[in-house]
Amino acid sequence: MSDQLTHFNEQNRARMVDVSEKDITKREAVAQSKVAMKPETLARIREGRIEKGDVLAVAQVAGVMAAKKTWEIIPMCHPLPLTGIDIRFSFQGDDTVEIEATVKTTGKTGVEMEALTAASAAALTIYDMCKAMDKGMVIGPTSLLLKTGGKSGDYRRGEN
C-alpha cells in the first residue's frame, strides 16, 4: 500500500481522484462513534422519554441519509450507488451510546467516508435531540473499524 496522497494534482492542488481505470469490486466499511452523556439522559433515551421523539429512530434515519449524501458535503468524495446501509446502536454502561454504521457498494472506490459520515451524523442527531437536557454530551471518538475491497486491500482497526 502506498502512502502517497492521491487527492493532489501536479500543481499540488486538490483534485477528485480519477477512478475510471479502477476495477469494480464489492466494498464495505464499518465506522463507529460514541456519545457520552449524563446517566439520566441515557435512561430517558432508553425509556423513550425525550420530548422530540424516538432518539435512536431519528438518528438511524439521519445516519442513512448522511451516508447517501456524503459526496455532497465532503468535497473530494465521489457520488456512489450504495447497496446497503445499516446503523446499529448499543449502550455502553449507563452513560454512552455506541453507534456502528455499515455501508456497502459495488464500485470503483470505497465507502469509508460514507460510513464515517453516517456514524457522525447519527451521533450529532442524538446530541441535537437531547441537548435541551444535556449540553455537556461528548461525541467521539469516531473511527473506521473495517474496510474491505479495492486495490489497497482490507483494513481492520488494530490489525493494520
Enumerate the active-site residues. 128
Binding residue per annotation — 7?
A: no
Neighbouring-strand partners of residue 35 = 97, 139
In the numeric block, the cell 446497503 is attached to 84
Helix (H) or strand (E) holding 86: strand 82-92
- Please state, in angstroms and rounded to a whole number, the distance separating the CA atoms of residues 41 and 49: 9
- Please state, in angstroms and rounded to a whole number, the distance separating the CA atoms of residues 67 and 84: 10
What the block records as the C-alpha cell of 80 is: 456512489
Binding residue per annotation — 10?
A: no
Binding residue per annotation — 113?
A: yes
Helix (H) or strand (E) holding 60: helix 55-73
- Please state, in angstroms and rounded to a whole number, the distance separating the CA atoms of residues 108 and 20: 8
Which residues are documented as binding site for substrate? Answer: 76-78, 113-114
Known binding-site residues equal: 76-78, 113-114
